Structure 1
Amino acid sequence: MATQQYRIVAAEDSEIHGEPHIEGSRVTVQDVHARVEKRGLAPERVAERYNVDIADIYEALAYYHNNPEEMRRVEQRHERAAAEARARSSLAPPDN
């Protein structure tokens, strides 16, 4: 029987901003989740766009749901970074 090799690099082993990602790529689990489950893109389309196997997309989604605390920390880090960037920006939305 063949042994399944998983291709998700966990956050603690990741060199991509400490985020879990698909091994051999810069595609993060968070980005896959956002595109498929939040934006409604088809997993096949995301796989084509990033030039990864469709199995990698489904594995990333499974990882997201199997590691809720880790993914919550990643999302909070993203939210803090976005808030800090907005606070530093000198751009203001137009007046209506």
Structure 2
Amino acid sequence: MTIVRNNNVLGGEPRINGTRIGVRHVAARVIDGGQSPAHVADQFNLPISGVYEALSYYYGHIEEMYNLERENEAAFDRVRELSLKPKEPV
């Protein structure tokens, strides 16, 4: 398995080739969620080598991953702000 990017899939974020499973998805489960790589591989129906490849990419491109996370959080904040505004009186 390899890590690829395509602007038409996951907004261009790095993902495992042939899947819609992003590097950040794997990292979130293993690093943030404390799940074992074997468990994540089983849950995503991946060979364990794919999980380790995603983690290797994550750590090899840590600044890029942090930037993607910040961009993603900012986008959610903008959507949240727009969706929580009260309607203007008529």
TM-score if structure 1 supplies the norm length? 0.78
Q: How does 1:1-96 map to 2 (within 5 A)?
A: 7-10=2-5, 13-14=6-7, 15-90=9-84
**Match for 2:19: what amino acid?**
S
% identical aligned pairs: 39
SS in 2 for 1:78: helix
What is the rounded CA distance, in whole Å, between the counterparts of 2:36 and 2:83 in structure 1? 34
SS in 1 for 2:10: coil
In angstroms, what is the RMSD of aligned CA positions?
1.7
Greater percentage in helix: 2
Which sections of structure 1, spanning at least 5 residues, go unmatched? 1-5, 92-96
| Length, aligned pairs only | 84
SS in 2 for 1:36: helix
Residues 17-51 of structure 1, C-alpha deviation per residue, up to 9 Å, x if partnerless?
Answer: 11000000000000110100001011111111111
TM-score if structure 2 supplies the norm length? 0.83
